[in-house]
């Protein structure tokens, strides 16, 4: 963005101090002035203000809710689950909740916490990224018999004036409900480019916002977690929806009721907001020499305005016979909204001056429906591709000849799509799979399912893509790699001790200049060495009469190499120095123990989890006894199914569901059964240090589009943690 302002999405409100002021809505009379010298006047003023705030708060508090969202996003060739939290307001007894769109963005499951701290499931009714608003519906069947919700009421944002007192309500930082107090600073805030006369839109992940919004600027403190919460006047009515704050300046912004209420009504009635579009970007006349009108800043090619002959630089002076005068940037959203609010297909008569000069020309422009910013998304998990639906707008922005196919959103490193020759790339348009034409995202998913259900899975699949106008074909290998266990080293002699090299300098500090060798740091319990006369602190200087004296740290492995060269299960004479006294000790060797590098491993791409067998050395370090069994998590993808369940590297998996896991073979057997059954929930029982944990993974087995995912949602799952608020996404480039 050109503006130097730093924007912070405000998913919430602050718990800290309130800011008191005397600005009041016109409907509430200000307290009478105190007589001169009346010391109690200030106290009465505070009490009167407190009474008004309390009364207004209590009208809205029962309708204030905290919203928890489980999210699924598709990027980098894989599906990523996460979570977010925000606030909202119940506005009907039927359970409709108004919140911000960025709170529910990518959401698949929703839960709402009521004023009495009960959690109820909710479903997404509709979202409108262009205004950053969304509506959820609480499942009121979960209420107690005869119980009703207590909705808040809309007020009139048009009645607000600069200096009026307002309250921001919400659940900051996913905490319990709070209220902060402040005043209205500006009732028609817009964001402008450096020139000051161009309105600058905000671009988030699901598209632009601010195109139609004149924000209410106020100084009631808000923080992450407050987004979607109400801005309330002192009559206890909702006059706005808190959406964001600007950096750490204390400036907060709310979407006015005059915009939010019609969007709320439309989402409930239609599930969307239908708007008219003509393809113009507009500019105020602030820096021009014009005395009236609005300047055409740009015209989108192929749009209704383009077809009607309007061009950049034209000056619109009238619309449907009414004079147009957009003098300042703050007036641009109002005029833009006047066009958008007309029914789709409405003919609008414009009067304009070509290039701002000369005689007035006329044009009748028939509006078209404003298209969705982005389409559905999904991932073909085992191929490592994330895909996006090609909407009419996306095809137009990318200048694609048709809407046929589906766009590659990302490719996972090391996946079949990444190792294909040539590899698939972001922005490729998939046109056919395995010889079958792909018309849309749904057909790509169906082709993937059909191929991966074959027995056996084909070794190669041909995929055809359009890459910036070039017809490219490639082969991917969808068949999972056959698991191969690492080679085991041939069994050799071993003595159950751990050592450290003792070089010349360390030997001198230990009091014996000639005692270079290997100092025993641990004698492993349960080994032959443990029953010998070896002691921790002994410095080994020779074995069977052969000197072992390291000169550098690079020779740290010399002792182990010497021991491995000995016969197995045979006695060896070890010369040690113990407290300055040389001693010979006889110790029988035994078979080498499996090391971590030699341990059997299993890589599960579904759960993005790598485990290995538990070795003798793992048990020793964790102080686990020989009866402790399981497989050790070696690496876990944080955003994978196992990672989101809370599984971490170092956890010992001992049971999955009802099946005990004792080793790699039993683990593989359990995971293969899970892959075939494809349950919606998998329970892991793990040992972490000395404590056991029960963890729940929620796999998404089938590739689904976002719309399909939402239709299958039952609202019964709470996210693991609050997510970081989404950062503004870059603006789409035509």
DSSP per-residue string spanning 392-419: HHHHHHTT-S-S-SEEEEEE-TTSHHHH
Q: In this predicted model, what pLDDT tens digit does every residue of 688-708 receive, in sequence order? A: 999 999 999 988 786 655 555
pLDDT at position 329 is 82
Q: Average pLDDT, stretch 478-495?
A: 79
In the predicted structure, residue 266 carries a pLDDT above the cut 90: yes
Say if residues 320 and 376 touch (Cβ distance below 8 Å): no
Q: Average pLDDT, stretch 560-583?
A: 93
- The residue among 537, 535, 540, 544 whose CA lies nearest residue 573 is 544
Q: Average pLDDT, stretch 169-186?
A: 83
User: 509 vs 318, which has greater pLDDT?
Assistant: 318
pLDDT at position 501 is 95
Residue ranges of domains in the chain: 7-61+153-270, 63-142, 276-369, 377-464, 493-591, 601-704
What class, spelled out in words, does domain 601-704 have in CATH? mainly beta
Superfamily of domain 493-591: PDZ domain (2.30.42.10)
In the predicted structure, residue 100 carries a pLDDT above the cut 70: yes
In the predicted structure, residue 484 carries a pLDDT above the cut 90: no
Q: Residues, the chain, total?
A: 734
Q: In this predicted model, what pLDDT tens digit does every residue of 370-386 receive, in sequence order? A: 888 778 899 998 899 99
φ, ψ dihedrals at 97, nearest 5°:
-120, 130
In the predicted structure, residue 257 carries a pLDDT above the cut 50: yes
Q: Average pLDDT, stretch 656-667?
A: 96
Q: What percent of the chain has pLDDT over 70?
A: 86
pLDDT at position 441 is 95
Q: Which is catalytic among the residues 102, 386, 602, 651?
A: 102
Architecture of the structural domain at 7-61+153-270: Beta Barrel (2.40)
Q: In this predicted model, what pLDDT tens digit does every residue of 608-650 receive, in sequence order? A: 899 999 999 999 999 999 899 999 999 998 778 899 899 999 9
In the predicted structure, residue 356 carries a pLDDT above the cut 90: no
Q: Which is catalytic among the residues 84, 227, 379, 386?
A: 227
Catalytic annotation present for 227: yes
Helix, coil or strand: residue 366? strand
pLDDT at position 21 is 32
Strand locations in 390-516, DSSP E? 406-411, 429-433, 436-437, 461-467, 470-476, 493-494, 497-502
- The residue among 97, 162, 109, 86 whose CA lies nearest residue 136 is 97
User: 660 vs 223, which has greater pLDDT?
Assistant: 660
Cα separation, 488 vs 602, whole angstroms: 15
Across the chain, mean pLDDT equals 85
Distances (CA, A) of 536 to 553, 564, 577: 20, 21, 11
pLDDT-based confidence at residue 720 (cuts at 50, 70, 90): very low
Q: Which is catalytic among the residues 106, 132, 314, 466?
A: 132
Distances (CA, A) of 556 to 506, 549, 553, 560, 702: 14, 10, 5, 9, 51
- The residue among 123, 268, 96, 113 whose CA lies nearest residue 715 is 123
| CATH code reported for the domain at 276-369 | 2.30.42.10
Catalytic annotation present for 159: no
Distances (CA, A) of 393 to 106, 375, 403, 558, 682: 20, 9, 9, 68, 40
Options 3.30.390.30, 2.30.42.10, 2.40.128.630, 1.20.1260.10; CATH for 377-464 is 2.30.42.10
In the chain, count H helices and then E strands.
14, 45
* Fold match, 63-142 / 377-464: no
CA angle centred on 494, ends 491 and 496, rounded to 5°: 135
Is 63-142 a domain of CATH 2.40.10.10?
A: yes
Q: In this predicted model, what pLDDT tens digit does every residue of 511-553 receive, in sequence order? A: 776 689 999 999 999 999 999 999 999 999 999 999 999 999 9
φ, ψ dihedrals at 446, nearest 5°:
-65, -40
Catalytic annotation present for 218: no
pTM: 0.70
- The least confident of 81-85, 140-144, 450-454 is 81-85
Cα separation, 406 vs 441, whole angstroms: 5
Residue 559 DSSP code: H
Query: Which tokens belong to 463?
Result: 């995929």
Cα separation, 435 vs 213, whole angstroms: 48
Q: What percent of the chain has pLDDT over 90?
A: 62
pLDDT at position 244 is 87
pLDDT-based confidence at residue 155 (cuts at 50, 70, 90): very high
In the predicted structure, residue 34 carries a pLDDT above the cut 60: no
């Amino acid at each position: 963005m050109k503006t130097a302002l730093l924007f912070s999405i405000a998913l919430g409100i602050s718990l800290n101090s309130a800011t008191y002021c005397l600005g009041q809505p016109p409907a509430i009379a200000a307290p009478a002035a105190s007589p001169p010298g009346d010391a109690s006047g200030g106290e009465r003023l505070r009490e009167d203000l407190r009474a008004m705030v309390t009364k207004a708060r209590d009208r809205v508090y029962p309708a204030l809710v905290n919203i928890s969202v489980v999210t699924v996003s598709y990027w980098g060739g894989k599906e990523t689950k996460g979570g977010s939290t925000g606030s909202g307001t119940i506005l009907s007894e039927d359970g409709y909740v108004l919140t911000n769109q960025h709170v529910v963005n990518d959401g698949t499951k929703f839960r709402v916490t009521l004023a009495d701290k009960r959690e109820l499931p909710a479903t997404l009714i509709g979202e409108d990224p262009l205004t950053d608003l969304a509506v959820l519906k609480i499942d009121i069947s979960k209420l107690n018999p005869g119980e009703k919700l207590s909705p808040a009421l809309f007020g009139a944002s048009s009645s607000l004036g600069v200096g009026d007192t307002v309250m921001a309500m919400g659940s900051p930082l996913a905490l319990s409900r709070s209220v902060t107090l402040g005043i209205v600073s500006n009732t028609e805030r817009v964001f402008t480019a450096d020139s000051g006369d161009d309105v600058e839109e905000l671009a988030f992940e699901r598209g632009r916002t601010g195109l139609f919004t004149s924000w209410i600027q106020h100084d009631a403190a808000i923080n992450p977690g407050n987004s979607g919460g109400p801005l309330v006047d002192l009559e206890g009515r909702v006059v706005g929806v808190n959406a964001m704050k600007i950096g750490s300046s204390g400036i907060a912004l709310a979407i006015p009721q005059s915009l939010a209420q019609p969007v709320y009504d439309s989402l409930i009635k239609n599930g969307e907001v239908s708007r008219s579009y003509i393809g113009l970007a507009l500019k105020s006349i602030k820096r021009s020499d014009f005395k009236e009108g609005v300047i055409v800043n740009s015209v989108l090619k192929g749009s209704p305005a383009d077809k009607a002959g309007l061009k950049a630089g034209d000056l619109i002076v009238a619309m449907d016979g009414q004079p147009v005068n957009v003098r300042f940037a703050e007036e641009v959203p109002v005029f833009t909204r006047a066009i958008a609010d007309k029914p789709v297909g409405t003919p609008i008569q414009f009067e304009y001056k070509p290039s701002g000069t000369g005689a007035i020309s006329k044009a009748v422009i028939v509006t078209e429906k404003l298209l969705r910013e982005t389409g559905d998304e999904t991932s073909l998990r085992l191929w490592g591709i994330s895909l996006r639906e090609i909407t009419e707008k996306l095809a137009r922005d990318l200048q694609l000849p048709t809407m046929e196919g589906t766009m590659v959103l990302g490719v996972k490193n090391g996946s079949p799509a990444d190792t294909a020759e040539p590899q698939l790339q972001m922005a490729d348009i998939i046109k056919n799979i395995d010889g079958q034409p792909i018309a849309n995202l749904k057909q790509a998913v169906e082709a993937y399912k059909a191929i991966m259900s074959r027995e056996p899975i084909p070794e190669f699949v041909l995929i055809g893509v359009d890459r910036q106008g070039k017809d490219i074909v490639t082969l991917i290998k969808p068949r999972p790699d056959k698991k191969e266990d690492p080679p085991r080293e041939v069994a050799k002699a071993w003595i159950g001790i751990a050592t450290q090299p003792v070089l010349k300098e360390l030997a001198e500090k230990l009091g014996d200049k000639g005692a270079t060798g290997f100092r025993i740091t641990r004698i492993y319990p349960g080994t032959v060495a443990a029953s010998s006369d070896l002691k921790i602190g002994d410095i080994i200087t020779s074995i069977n009469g052969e000197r072992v004296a390291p000169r550098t740290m690079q020779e740290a492995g010399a002792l182990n190499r010497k021991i491995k060269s000995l016969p197995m299960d045979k006695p060896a004479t070890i010369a040690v120095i113990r407290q300055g006294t040389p001693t010979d000790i006889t110790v029988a060797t035994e078979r080498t123990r499996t090391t971590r590098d030699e341990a059997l491993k299993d890589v599960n791409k579904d759960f993005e989890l790598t485990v290995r067998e538990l070795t003798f050395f793992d048990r020793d370090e964790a102080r686990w006894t020989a009866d402790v069994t399981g497989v050790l998590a070696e690496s876990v993808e944080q955003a994978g199914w196992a990672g989101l369940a809370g599984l971490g590297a170092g956890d010992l998996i001992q049971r999955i569901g009802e099946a005990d896991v004792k080793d790699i073979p039993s683990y593989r057997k359990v995971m293969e059964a899970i892959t075939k059954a494809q349950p919606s929930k998998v329970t892991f029982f793990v040992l972490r240090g000395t404590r056991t944990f029960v963890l729940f993974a929620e796999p998404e087995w089938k590739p689904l589009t976002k719309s399909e995912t939402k239709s299958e949602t039952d609202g019964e799952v709470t996210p693991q943690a609050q997510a970081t608020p989404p950062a503004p996404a870059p603006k789409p480039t035509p």
